[in-house]
Structures are given as C-alpha cells and as structure tokens.
Amino acid sequence: MDRRSLLRGALGGAVAGPVAALTVAEPASAAPAGFDVLLGDVTSGKIYRFDRNRPFTAAHVKWSYLPGGGHPMEHRPRDTDGDGQVLLIATGSRDSGVASIRRRRDNKLLWSARLGTYLHGIERARGTGVVVVAGRSRGPAPGGDGGATTGGRIYVYRPTNSHSGSLVHAQTFGFHQAHGVLWDPRLERMWIIGGSVLQAYRIVTTASSAKLVADPDRRVKVTRGHDIQPDYTDPGKLLFTDTNGVYRYDKATKRVTTLHTRRKVKSYVRHSSGEQMWTGAAESGGSAFGTKYVHFNVSGVTRPLQVGSGPIVYKARIDTPNYL
C-alpha cells in the first residue's frame, strides 16, 4: 500500500463534526510545531531520534541505539530523582523480551530483565518509582494473527532505593495480549491496554511490596487493544487505539469518543500544538507491525524513515518525559 492510500485510510475514516477538524491542515502561514520524536524500527532493531521537521534520513539522525533483545516495541523518556532522565525500553520476539532502563546522558544501562513473553510496553510510575512491563504472549501467532494468540503477562517491579538499579520483582499476573501501559499522575492510575480491555489500576505499596489492583470503575471494552497515550492538548483526556480505530477517553465522564476509524493504528498521540502523530500497518497486506511512514495529520506531512534497508516503524513517540 502506498503513501497516498495510507493517508486516505486515515483521513477518510475520521468521523464527521468537530472531531473531523482534527485532520484539517494548519494555515500556510503557521510554522509546523517543532519537537523531537523517537522511532522504533523493527527491521534493524534500532531506536532513532529525529527532529520531526527534518527528513528521517541518515544525515539527520540526532541519536540512535541498538538495544538488543528483538524488535523495539516501546521507547519513552522519564525523569527520575535518583538517575536523572532515563529511557525506558521494551524489546521483544515471539518467545522472549527484554525490559531495560538507560540513563540518557551517557546511555548507561541501569537495569534490565529478560522475560518469557513478547514484550510490548514499559512504564514507570512517578512518586513510587514502580515499573510495569507488559508482555503480549509467547510462541507463534496462529496464521500470523497476533490478536488470536493466547497468553500475556504483566510484570511489576518496585525500587528499594531511589535508583533504578534497585528494582526487584514484586508481582506478575495474566493479562491477555498485554500491549500498552501508561501512568496517569492525575488519577494516580496505571492504565494497561490489550486484548479486549483497557483497564486502570491503583498501585498499592508497602515498605516491602508493590502490587496493581484493578479499578472496577475504569474499565473499557476494546477490540485487540494496541496503544494508550496522553492527549497533550487536554490532561483530562487519554488517547488509545485498537484494531478498529482511535479513541479518546474522558476521565471526568468516563465516556469514549471515536476519533478515527482507520484500522490497525499502532501508535497515536496529540502534541500540545494540536499536531497528531501516528503510525499504523497497512489495512491489508504488508507487515503486521507497520510501514516506513510516520504521519502528521494537522500539518499534512507524511515522513518515511529512510535509514537502513526496508525500515518498518512500529511506534513513534514524542521525545518528552511528561506524562500529561
């Protein structure tokens, strides 16, 4: 599927009314919002940082890293008291995955864990320092359909001091097709999405334990959930994707609004400027992970990753440590 077909799939699927205005290009006189992005290329296994307003070519790579452990499924920065700014990384393959934390100023490995599921997500809760890792499954997907594969686990780690290197295992529990995880400091909840559900959890800690406890009032039915992200234009909202579309969750009303009906969106976020950035697999054919394109809906720009041979971008993240 070519670039124009992908754009038609995204814009044509937007719902009518005010939500559809999210895809309208900015006036020609407005300068595109400037921010850095982190891209994970499943072909090379590398993570790249680019200025979103420059071509995603080798000449414009601001930073790159090969974490090892399989496909780069998650890569997000977070601020910590003990280690400064860190990068949380989850990589995976069909049979295992590696969760790791690296200090950004020197790329020093502070902590890692090799786990027996296909890791897709990692997050750190501000305040407690609890780290949550999401693993989709183990083993090949029947017929190549990842959504049909059984299994999935959530791994919880707690720190014993202010440094990431002190993390110890605290809890493991099943979560079918666990994909995305996000800490919400306003609600003080850890959101996890995968399979048929988006679920919020409280983090309950003692001096020697930490565990996630499901919040029964914040549970949303989804269809093969993929990603959960902040809406940086509105801290009262969250954005999530599943196989059938892109949605907004209102924390006050607990209502879900469909933003786009474009299928197989793997990551979606809205910058504080209003710019929307998303990645997705072709709606038919091609790689199940995605394409080489990163889409910016408001400015009408679609940028291909042009580094290496046959790059495929799974997730694109705004390079910010901010949760909301």
Beta bridge partners of 78: 86
Task: Name the one residue in this structure whose structure tokens are 């979606």.
Answer: 268
Looking at residue 263, what is its pLDDT? Answer: 96
Over residues 57-62, the mean pLDDT reads 98
Compute CA distances 166 → 126, 132, 162, 194, 320, whole Å: 16, 15, 8, 28, 24
Looking at residue 299, what is its pLDDT? Answer: 86
How far is it, in rounded angstroms, from Cα 192 to Cα 182? 7
Q: Give 40-76 as a DSSP string.
A: EETTT--EEEEETTS-EEGGG-SEEE---SSEEEEEE
User: Does 255 have pLDDT greater than 60?
Assistant: yes
Domain boundaries, the chain: 3-17+34-318
User: In the CATH hierarchy, which top-level class contains the domain 3-17+34-318?
Assistant: mainly beta
Give residue-wise pLDDT tens across range 165-202: 999 999 999 999 999 999 999 999 999 999 999 999 99
Give residue-wise pLDDT tens across range 4-26: 333 333 333 333 222 222 343 34
Neighbours of 34 (CB within 10 A): 12
Give residue-wise pLDDT tens across range 26-51: 433 357 889 999 999 999 999 999 99
